[in-house]
């Protein structure tokens, strides 16, 4: 038996036990899926605290709706669709307040001296830029982009997770990429604009 | 910044599919040949390529701690809240069904007292008797109406009122128990 099959079997058992109210079984599910769920929430919401809250709420909703889960469907797709819907709801409910990106984890990275400061600053700037671009997109464009790049989902899988048609996914992905490209070009144009000459008195 | 035209948009859409390897190589070669003739599209495509590479290299974010304990605490909190709400609902429903029963029992007792001891309780229960009379008048009025319309009207109305009361009790019970906020670790 392969490791993947064994894991799927374990999952099936955990889901069945959790459906019957077994909290310990659900804890296994949380441990198995917390990283992809948290990452989706983080990429959607743009900050650590919001992402933690959203990820916890996602698992709570999943627990309450386990009886609706269709075992023929991939569990990851199902839970990511809950996370995506919940993150979109959050974004719509209140205007997202941009908290400093990377928050605590990056602060810890900055404190570590394993990497030269210049390289760490560059990496932080790059990570900030990525999240900044993603934050500029409307939630409808943001989710397909996140599923494509961070989950390696095919267009069909994105369509299944978001309950969209494949042409709609194509269109949203293209628009998302184009919007990010526009942002990047605008930033480059701003950076390359000549600085005003000093005024001579 | 340069603006794309409708044609540019279609070309960039196809390039987007090429990036995801969803167009055959021959078609992509044709699209790239078209791209070579449009400087605006080239600038956009270069930016799209850069975005694509940056996003593909971006790592997945991991939570700073194991969330299972926090999630289980949330679930326990929510289940406790649901149990409490159910308790409130049952208690209120019981209390609500007890009130008409008490009224009936009280009426019977008063009627019994007033007929067996007309002199003793006459003054003390005057107010209650008048209240009972008002209720009797109301019941008679409804009874007359009920007889005029249908013999089932009163039980139906009573059932509807009970269902409405039960519904209002559930709504109220759900409102009074505050929703827990996601736990922090």
For the residues of B47-90, what is the DSSP string, one character each?
HHHHHHHHHHHPPPP--SS--HHHHHHHHHHHHHHHHHHHHHHH
- A69 lies in the same domain as A22: yes
Nearest Cα neighbor of A86 from A37, A156, A159 is: A37
Name the token pair of B50.
């850069």
pLDDT tens digits along A155-173: 999 999 999 999 999 999 9
CB contact under 8 A, B68 and A27: yes
- A72 lies in the same domain as A128: no
Looking at the domain assignment, is residue A102 inside a domain?
Answer: no
Q: Where are the domains of chain B?
A: 6-57, 68-176
pLDDT tens digits along B71-99: 999 999 888 888 888 888 778 777 777 77
- A88 lies in the same domain as A147: no
Using only C-alpha atoms, what is the Rg of chain B? 38
Q: Where in the sequence is the domain holding A168, given as residue range(s)? A: 116-189
End-to-end CA distance of chain A: 82
Selected residue of A17, A31, A33, A34 to mutate for chain B interface (largest B Cβ count, 10 A): A34
Looking at the domain assignment, is residue A111 inside a domain?
Answer: no
Residue A36 with chain B: CB contacts under 8 Å: 60
The domain that contains A34 carries what CATH number? 1.10.1740.10
pLDDT of residue B175: 61
- A40 lies in the same domain as A73: yes
pLDDT of residue A49: 92
- A80 lies in the same domain as A128: no
Q: What Cα–Cα distance (Å) separates residue B139 from each residue in A85, B142, B146?
A: 53, 5, 10
**Tokens 């850069």 sit on residue:** B50
Looking at the domain assignment, is residue A108 inside a domain?
Answer: no
pLDDT of residue B181: 47
Phi, psi of A29 (to 5 degrees): -65, -45
Angle subtended at Cα B68 by Cα B63 and Cα B74, rounded to the nearest 5 degrees: 110
What is the C-alpha separation between B75 and B94, in angstroms, rounded? Answer: 29
Please say if the pLDDT value at position A178 is more than 60: yes
Looking at the domain assignment, is residue A18 inside a domain?
Answer: yes
- For chain A, the domain total comes to 2
The domain that contains A127 carries what CATH number? 1.10.10.10
**Tokens 């009122």 sit on residue:** B161
Using the 3D structure, point to which of A63, A96, A129 is the last residue of a domain: A96
CB contact under 8 A, B44 and A36: no
- A132 lies in the same domain as A165: yes
DSSP letters for B27-55: HHHHHHHHHTT-HHHHHHHHHHHHHHHHH
- A3 lies in the same domain as A84: yes
pLDDT of residue A95: 59
- A88 lies in the same domain as A6: yes
Looking at the domain assignment, is residue A104 inside a domain?
Answer: no
Looking at the domain assignment, is residue A62 inside a domain?
Answer: yes
Lowest-confidence region among A112-121, A147-156, B32-41, B52-61:
A112-121
Using the 3D structure, point to which of A34, A66, A96 is the last residue of a domain: A96
Mean pLDDT of B137-163: 62
Query: How many residue pairs bridge chain A and chain B with CB atoms within 8 Å of each other?
Result: 125
CB contact under 8 A, B71 and A59: yes
Q: Does A153 touch chain B (CB under 8 A)?
A: no
Residue A188 with chain B: CB contacts under 8 Å: 47
Higher pLDDT, B114 or A161: A161
Higher pLDDT, A2 or A196: A2
Nearest Cα neighbor of A51 from A36, A39, A63 is: A39
Chain B from 44 to 83: CB within 8 A of any A CB? 44, 47-48, 50-52, 54-56, 58, 60-64, 66-72, 74-76, 78
DSSP letters for B143-154: HHHHHHH-TTHH
**Beta strand residue intervals within B90-155, DSSP E:** none
- A128 lies in the same domain as A159: yes
What is the C-alpha separation between B93 and A29, in angstroms, rounded? Answer: 39
Q: Are A81 and A161 in contact (CB under 8 A)?
A: yes
pLDDT of residue A35: 94
Mean pLDDT of B138-147: 62
CB contact under 8 A, B64 and A189: no
- A8 lies in the same domain as A85: yes
The ipTM is 0.70
Q: Does A115 touch chain B (CB under 8 A)?
A: no
Listed in sequence order, the residues at least 6 apart from A176 whose beta carbon sits closer than 8 Å to its beta carbon are A137, A141, A142, A144, A145
- A35 lies in the same domain as A82: yes
pLDDT of residue A80: 94
- A125 lies in the same domain as A52: no
For residue A50, the chain B residue with the least C-alpha distance is: B182
Mean pLDDT of A174-189: 86
Torsion over CA: A190, B43, B13, A164 (sign): negative
For residue A169, the chain B residue with the least C-alpha distance is: B17
Selected residue of A82, A174, A189, A192 to mutate for chain B interface (largest B Cβ count, 10 A): A174
Mean pLDDT of B44-56: 87
For residue A53, the chain B residue with the least C-alpha distance is: B182
Would you put residue A152 in left (φ > 0), alpha (ψ -120 to 50) or beta?
Answer: left
What is the C-alpha separation between B28 and B128, in angstroms, rounded? Answer: 93
Nearest Cα neighbor of B128 from B140, B113, B112, B110 is: B110
CB contact under 8 A, B16 and A149: no
Using only C-alpha atoms, what is the Rg of chain A? 20
Listed in sequence order, the residues at least 6 apart from A63 whose beta carbon sits closer than 8 Å to its beta carbon are A18, A26, B71, B75
């Amino acid at each position: 038996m392969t490791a993947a099959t064994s894991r799927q079997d374990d999952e099936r058992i955990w889901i069945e036990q959790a459906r019957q109210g077994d909290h310990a079984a659900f804890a296994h599910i949380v441990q198995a899926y917390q990283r992809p769920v948290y990452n989706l929430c983080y990429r959607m919401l743009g900050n650590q605290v919001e992402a933690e809250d959203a990820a916890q709420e996602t698992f709570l909703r999943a627990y309450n709706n386990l009886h609706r889960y269709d075992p023929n469907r991939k569990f990851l797709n199902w839970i990511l669709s809950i996370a995506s819907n919940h993150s979109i709801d959050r974004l719509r409910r209140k205007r997202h307040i941009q908290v400093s990106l990377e928050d605590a984890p990056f602060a810890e990275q900055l404190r570590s001296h394993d990497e030269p400061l210049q390289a760490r600053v560059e990496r932080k700037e790059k990570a900030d830029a990525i999240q900044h671009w993603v934050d500029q997109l409307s939630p409808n464009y943001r989710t397909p982009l996140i599923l494509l790049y961070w989950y390696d989902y095919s267009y069909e899988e994105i369509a299944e997770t978001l309950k969209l048609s494949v042409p709609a996914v194509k269109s949203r992905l293209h628009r998302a990429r184009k919007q990010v490209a526009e942002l990047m070009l605008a930033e480059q144009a701003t950076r390359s604009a000549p600085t005003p000459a000093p005024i001579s008195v | 910044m340069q603006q794309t035209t409708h044609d540019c948009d279609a070309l960039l859409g196809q390039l987007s599919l090429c990036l995801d390897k969803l167009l055959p190589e021959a078609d992509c070669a044709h699209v790239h040949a078209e791209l070579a003739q449009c400087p605006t599209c080239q600038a956009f495509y270069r930016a799209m390529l850069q975005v694509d590479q940056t996003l593909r290299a971006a790592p997945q974010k991991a939570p700073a701690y194991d969330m299972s304990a926090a999630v289980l605490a949330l679930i326990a909190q929510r289940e406790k809240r649901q149990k409490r709400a159910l308790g409130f609902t049952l208690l209120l429903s019981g209390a609500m069904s007890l009130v008409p029963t008490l009224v009936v029992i009280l009426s019977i007792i008063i009627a019994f007292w007033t007929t067996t001891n007309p002199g003793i309780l006459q003054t003390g229960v005057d107010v209650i008797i008048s209240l009972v009379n008002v209720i009797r008048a109301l019941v008679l009025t409804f009874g007359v109406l009920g007889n005029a319309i249908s013999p089932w009207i009163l039980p139906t109305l009573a059932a509807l009122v009970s269902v409405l009361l039960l519904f209002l009790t559930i709504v109220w019970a759900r409102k009074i128990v505050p929703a827990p906020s996601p736990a922090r670790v």
